[in-house]
């Protein structure tokens, strides 16, 4: 039996998606539709993995009434979980304004609760307790106020003592510092990757050349997503350009998280990078076709995976 995939969400949220028909900046906008979902990048990854019938376990930190809603949601979905609960503060609400006319999402994310050193140490110890039964740990998303950007680096160092694979999906200093601990895989989008390397990357060849520097450092897999244009998948001896099939985009929320989940699932199943590239691209595309932070299912992915165009570079 395969060990668990552990998803860590230090700053979960309640996603409130408002759909409008033609956004008027500075003017009156009437909601065509409003929906509320439990979210946060790690939570989204756990939702996808659960729909894939993978052995997933969710952990992290929550606060307040909305934090209880996060836990209740996971319980209702049958996703095993263990969250440290902060006494003061409230789990944040993230607002997604989807303009159905031009298919653009504008995000407004609250900062959320504050975490002190005592709570963070309790969370780290909780994660350490779960690592012996873990094969893959997914670290993704933002961190609460009061938490150092080096927390992912610390958790990667701890996880590697148990010979586990770590997938890191973060940006800014959290990504930069996390890479110093050499996670097994990273999944920045092209803008996050450009910020990491400190320069504009105009072609796929430039992106690949820059990514190889991190492969040479010891990172095994790098996925660089480019939205509707597709994604690059790199390992030490393979590079694939995956082009997705066309979908009616209803929300980009959770699309990247679905790619991360497919990567974790593929590693758990022992799939090749070629197969993972197809699965991850299909998963991201299908999730983008859903409203709010709804995510893909394995049946949907398998039905469409053959439509992904894959080119070896």
Which residues are the active-site residues?
A: 257
Cα separations (Å) of 274 from 44, 86, 117? 24, 42, 42
Half-sphere exposure (Cβ direction) of 164: Cα atoms closer than 13 Å: 29
Half-sphere exposure (Cβ direction) of 256: Cα atoms closer than 13 Å: 25
DSSP states of the chain: -PPEEEEEESS-EEEEEEEESS--TTS----SEEEEEEE-HHHHHHHHHHHTT--EEEEEEEEHHHHHHHHHHHHHTT--EEEEEESSS--EEEEEEEETTTTEEEEEE----B--HHHHHHHHHHHHHHGGGEEEEEEES---BT--TTHHHHHHHHHHTTT-EEEEE--HHHHHHHHHT--SEE--BHHHHHHHHTS---SHHHHHHHHHHHHHHT--EEEEE-GGG-EEEE-SS-EEEEEPPP---S--TTHHHHHHHHHHHHHHHT--HHHHHHHHHHHHHHHHTSSTT----HHHHHHHGGGSEEEE-
Contact 59, 127 (CB under 8 A): yes
DSSP state of 133: G
Measure the CA–CA gap between 49 and 108, rounded to whole angstroms. 26
């Amino acid at each position: 039996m395969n060990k668990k995939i552990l998803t860590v969400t230090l700053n979960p949220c309640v996603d409130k998606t408002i759909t409008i028909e033609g956004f008027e900046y500075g003017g009156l906008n009437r909601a065509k539709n409003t929906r509320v979902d439990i979210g946060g990048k790690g939570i989204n990854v756990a939702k996808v993995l659960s729909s894939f019938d993978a052995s997933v376990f969710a952990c992290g930190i929550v606060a307040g009434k909305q934090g209880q809603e996060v836990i209740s949601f996971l319980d209702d979905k049958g996703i095993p979980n263990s969250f440290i609960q902060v006494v003061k503060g409230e789990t944040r609400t993230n607002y997604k304004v989807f303009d159905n006319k031009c298919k653009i999402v504008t995000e407004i994310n609250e900062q959320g609760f504050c975490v002190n050193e005592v709570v963070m140490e309790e969370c780290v110890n909780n994660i350490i307790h779960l690592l012996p039964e873990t094969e893959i740990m997914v670290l993704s998303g933002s961190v609460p106020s009061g938490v150092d950007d080096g927390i992912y680096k610390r958790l990667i160092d701890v996880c590697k003592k148990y010979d586990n694979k770590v997938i890191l999906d973060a940006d800014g200093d959290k990504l930069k510092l996390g890479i110093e601990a050499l996670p097994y895989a990273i999944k920045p989008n092209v803008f996050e990757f450009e910020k990491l390397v400190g320069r504009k990357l105009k072609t796929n060849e430039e992106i690949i050349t820059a990514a190889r520097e991190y492969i040479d450092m010891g990172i095994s897999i790098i996925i660089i997503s480019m939205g509707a244009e597709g994604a690059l998948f790199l390992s030490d001896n393979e590079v694939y350009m995956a082009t997705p099939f066309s979908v009616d985009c209803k929300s980009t929320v959770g699309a990247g998280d679905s790619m991360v989940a497919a990567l974790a699932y593929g590693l758990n199943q022992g799939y090749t990078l070629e197969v993972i590239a197809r699965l991850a691209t299909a998963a991201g595309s299908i999730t983008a076709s859903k409203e709010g932070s709804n995510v893909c299912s394995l049946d949907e992915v398998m039905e469409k995976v053959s439509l992904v165009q894959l080119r070896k570079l």
